[in-house]
């Protein structure tokens, strides 16, 4: 099974290795993504599954059974960030296929259909919007985002059309609730919690979605040599305590709440204008990324940031504007599914770590309609979105065993969906 998983993952990465110096660049709605998805469909057919594609370009590999029961679905994606790794997305796709292979080889007879879904365009790197395929399938797609452009001026609608899809028809990818019973995504952790807690895999309780702010400090330019210190409105000097505040407050919140309910907050971008050695900074814009599974904690942090901005504005005379770029509520996953994923580990003698996800995934959208779960396998050094991203074949195999066990339970009867 380990060799089969590595080989199929290489095929879907259009490569004969899984780590290479420049990583993998396979962005959403490109011919590279389409090519990878074609390989996925080929492998599905080799396994005796029915391969199809919906109006958004999501590919579905289905183990059909007679009758109209709701299917148990798994899935992830095959697009990558630029110079990303072979496992972010791909691990979930290959483990889903591997689980069906294992069940077929064991002559297991599911009482309801099973699907592996390969979603389109999960990463936000190309158009600034993530999880487009799963948004379409869950009925969460806002068609107005078709006008978003990539860095070459190609719109999302044009990109989809370049791969054979009609933008307005993407809405048709929405699936009726009764078609699926539940959904499970397997993904690499992109962090170190599992290893740090000396566990084997992760079962996710909630997915933290960000509040993102653009905070602009409006100072006044002047000659660095001739403007006295006490007559300045230096936008960068005003931004500095703000940056420190975000860092220190996030640390304090985590100390106060402990590991169970954590929050991360980062000033991740900063642009200075005019950014010239002999001119006092006139304008600084800071991008703040706040995440927690607990939405109240995120909002409390955003409120604290607003108060601190007000304090800095009053003490420095530098006017501060705050724009909310993103404010998505976090997603709590289904407790019943999570219990089944933990039970699957008990059965296979793997230790589960119950945890939250700091990053977003396709399962966020699926969870709006169907009971959903998210299973993490470890990745080396917690590294992801990086050419060195890696997950051991041993851990991929564990993923297959966990999914198989979960599927055996979830498809054991054809009762009400």
Binding residues for Zn(2+): 77, 88, 123, 187, 385
Stretch that binds a second copy, among 35-43, 148-156, 267-275, 336-344 (CB under 8 A): 267-275
Considering beta carbons, is residue 86 or 301 the nearer one to a second copy? 301
Closest-CA residue to 403 (of 51, 8, 135, 5): 5
Residue 361 and residue 57 in contact, taking contact as beta carbons nearer than 8 Å:
no
- Count of residues that bind a second copy according to CB under 8 A: 61
Site string for a second copy, 349-368 (x = CB under 8 A): --------xxxx--------
Tell me the binding residues for allantoate: 212, 278, 291
Q: What residues contact residue 61 under an 8 Å CB cut-off, 6+ apart?
A: 40, 41, 43, 44, 47, 49, 50, 51, 96, 97, 100, 115, 116, 117, 118
Stretch that binds a second copy, among 142-150, 168-176, 230-238, 392-400 (CB under 8 A): 230-238
215 part of the interface to a second copy, by CB under 8 A = no
270 part of the interface to a second copy, by CB under 8 A = yes
Within 50-69, the residues that bind a second copy by CB under 8 A are none
192 part of the interface to a second copy, by CB under 8 A = yes
Residue 104, Cβ neighbours under 10 Å: how many?
A: 15
Give me the sign of the Cα torsion angle 133, 135, 139, 144: negative
Q: What residues contact residue 4 under an 8 Å CB cut-off, 6+ apart?
A: 98, 101
Structure token digits, residue 230: 């006490």
Binding a second copy (rule: CB under 8 A), the pick from 50, 257, 261, 287 is 287
Sequence length of the chain is 417
Which residue is associated with the tokens 């690499």?
188
Site string for a second copy, 193-212 (x = CB under 8 A): ---------------x-x-x
Considering beta carbons, is residue 162 or 276 the nearer one to a second copy? 276
Burial level of 241, CB count in 10 A (0-12/13-18/19+)?
middle
Binding a second copy (rule: CB under 8 A), the pick from 42, 124, 179, 328 is 124
Structure token digits, residue 352: 């589960």
Binding a second copy (rule: CB under 8 A), the pick from 226, 256, 258, 349 is 226
Coil, helix or strand at residue 95:
helix
Q: What's the CA dihedral at 391, 98, 336, 76 to 10 degrees?
A: 60
Within 239-258, the residues that bind a second copy by CB under 8 A are 239-244, 246-247, 250-251, 254
Tell me the binding residues: 77, 88, 123, 187, 212, 278, 291, 385
* Residue numbers at the binding site for a second copy (CB under 8 A): 124, 189-192, 208, 210, 212, 221-231, 234, 236-237, 239-244, 246-247, 250-251, 254, 262, 264-272, 275-281, 287, 289, 291, 357-360, 382, 384-386
């Amino acid at each position: 099974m380990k060799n089969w998983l590595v080989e199929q993952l290489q095929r879907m990465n259009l490569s004969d290795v899984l780590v290479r110096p420049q990583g993998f660049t396979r962005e959403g709605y490109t011919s590279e993504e389409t090519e990878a998805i074609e390989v996925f469909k080929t492998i599905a057919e080799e396994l005796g599954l029915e391969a199809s594609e919906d109006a958004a370009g999501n590919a579905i590999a289905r183990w059909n059974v007679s009758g109209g029961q709701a299917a148990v679905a798994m899935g992830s994606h095959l697009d990558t960030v630029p110079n990303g790794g072979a496992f972010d997305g791909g691990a979930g796709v290959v483990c889903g296929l591997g689980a069906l292979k294992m069940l077929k080889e064991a002559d297991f007879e599911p009482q309801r259909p099973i699907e592996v879904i390969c979603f389109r365009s999960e990463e936000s790197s190309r158009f600034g919007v993530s999880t487009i395929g799963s948004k379409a399938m869950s009925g969460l797609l806002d068609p107005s985002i078709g006008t978003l452009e990539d860095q070459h001026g190609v719109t999302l609608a044009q990109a989809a059309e370049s791969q054979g899809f009609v933008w307005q028809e993407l809405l048709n990818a929405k699936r009726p609730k009764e078609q699926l019973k539940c959904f499970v995504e397997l993904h690499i952790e992109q962090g170190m919690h599992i290893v740090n807690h000396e566990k084997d895999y992760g079962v996710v309780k909630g997915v933290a979605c960000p509040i993102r702010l653009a905070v602009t400090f409006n100072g006044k330019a002047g000659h660095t040599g001739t403007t006295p210190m006490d007559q300045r409105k230096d936008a960068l000097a005003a931004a500095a305590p703000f940056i420190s505040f975000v860092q220190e407050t996030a640390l304090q919140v985590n100390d106060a709440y402990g590991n169970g309910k954590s929050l991360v907050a980062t000033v991740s971008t900063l642009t200075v204008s005019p950014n010239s050695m002999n001119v006092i900074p006139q304008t600084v814009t800071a991008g703040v990324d706040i995440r927690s599974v607990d939405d109240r904690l995120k909002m409390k942090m955003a409120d604290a940031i607003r108060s601190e901005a007000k304090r800095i504005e009053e003490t420095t005379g530098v006017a501060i504007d705050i724009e909310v770029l993103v404010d998505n509520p976090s997603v709590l996953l289904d407790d019943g599914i999570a219990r089944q994923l933990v039970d699957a580990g008990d059965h296979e003698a793997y230790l589960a770590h119950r945890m939250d996800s700091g990053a977003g995934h396709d399962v966020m959208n699926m969870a709006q309609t169907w009971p959903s779960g998210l299973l993490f396998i470890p990745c080396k050094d917690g590294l992801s979105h990086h050419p060195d991203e890696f997950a051991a074949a041993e851990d991929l195999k564990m993923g297959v065993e966990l999914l198989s066990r979960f599927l055996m339970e979830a498809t054991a009867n054809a009762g009400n969906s």
